Amino acid sequence: MIPSSAPPRLILASSSAYRRELLARLQLPFEAISPDIDETPQAGEAPQDTALRLAREKAAFVAARFPGALVIGSDQVATLDGLQIGKPGNHARALEQLQLMRGRRVVFHTALCLWDSRALEPAAAAQIENVQVFVDFRDLPDAELDAYLRIEQPYDCAGSAKNEGLGIALLARIESTDPTALTGLPLIALSSMLRRAGVPMFGL
């Protein structure tokens, strides 16, 4: 890393309002820029590998355009029985997802990449980690699932439930080492990465 007296520019490579809200908790100045990448899973790619690859590609895409910046990339893939569960996009698909997941355990892979474009060696630029969250869904009737979706309309969320909102009532249990990972940005892991990159916390 190239020494510098000034804090590096911090960029969140995301258009997600959820990730912006989470990153704002650290009270560090940052900007959000949407990365223009293809998020389609590759043939035969394991779900966690998809999440890790996309987190890295998002960060690298933005970092290439902003030399000297620290860029945060993140991606989340939900899985049931090893199969990916994406963003539903509409009510009908969201209801199908919730019906499939009720009474079951779903694994959310939230991948995080911090790309330090100050690194002298490209191979050393990226810190990357996959944080798993295990979520048990309640076995609820169709009427409750449908009513929830009409209230919160979580059609842009993998797994069709906003755990930070009313969707928490659909869940029976959450297990993770990083509680914000389920919402889309693992702040415990990110704080560690930022410290290793020399970013001062608490204004110090």
- Which residues are catalytic, by number? 75
Instruction: Give, as one character, the DSSP assignment of residue 16.
Output: -
For the beta carbon of residue 188, count every other beta carbon within 10 angstroms.
Answer: 14
26 burial type by CB count under 10 A (0-12 exposed, 13-18 middle, 19+ buried)? middle
Of 131, 115, 118, 112, nearest to 182 by C-alpha is: 131
Answer whether 117's CB lies under 8 Å from 68's CB: yes
Tokens of 112: 């995080």
Q: Residue 75's beta-bridge partner residues?
A: 111
